[in-house]
Chain A
Amino acid sequence: AQSVTQPDIHITVSEGASLELRCNYSYGATPYLFWYVQSPGQGLQLLLKYFSGDTLVQGIKGFEAEFKRSQSSFNLRKPSVHWSDAAEYFCAWMDSSYKLIFGSGTRLLVRP
């Protein structure tokens, strides 16, 4: 079965430090991949998406992600984290019926 794995349940970084959140998917064909962010009590906000083309995609709030087919990965990065980035981050893959398959999420904590 198709799946999305986010191996890190929690990550803590210091404000101003760089960030990388890992995401791996199990699927053969070129996937549609997404990163969403969820703040407490809020819905999911789209950060960025990859459908095809350039494997490095830019998103909102200074985030970027790189699609690596050889590693079945779509890791999210940010060069300098702000305290307001503390939230839960979800990686998702879209199947052929437009259903999003989500990972279990990574909670980001930011140290002052």
Chain B
Amino acid sequence: EAGVVQSPRYKIIEKKQPVAFWCNPISGHNTLYWYRQNLGQGPELLIRYENEEAVDDSQLPKDRFSAERLKGVDSTLKIQPAELGDSAVYLCASSLVETQYFGPGTRLTVL
């Protein structure tokens, strides 16, 4: 069974540019999460989806971050415009019930 797929794996952009990350969860998992992991820290939740609905986006910086999961399967996380402090690894995870399975992440570097 395929795991959580994320692309791209690495992205380098200049500040003020837009960037988007894509995630395809494990088949059948209706819950999808986006986490941000800063260097030397554990991941922190940005947003959680139940099917198409964002049920917890309290930690998402809405002035520059947006996310969508239009058909309740794959999801896109966008940053516009990116700031230097957005450099981090962006992890996607999915779950059927409690246990979350993580993708390999996208390492974003903002110059």
Contact = CB atoms under 8 A, between A and B. Distances in A.
Given A49-B99, A51-B98, A102 B91 contact: no
Interface footprint category on B: 20 to 34
Interface string A1-44: 00010000000000000000000000000001010100001111
B93 to A, nearest CB: 8
Interface residues of A, number: 23
B41 A98 contact: no
B98 A92 contact: no
* B contact face: mostly helix, strand, loop, or mixed: strand
Contact of A97 (B6, B56, B102): B56
Interface string A76-112: 0000000000000010101001111011110000000
Interface of A: 4, 32, 34, 36, 41-46, 49, 51, 90, 92, 94, 97-100, 102-105
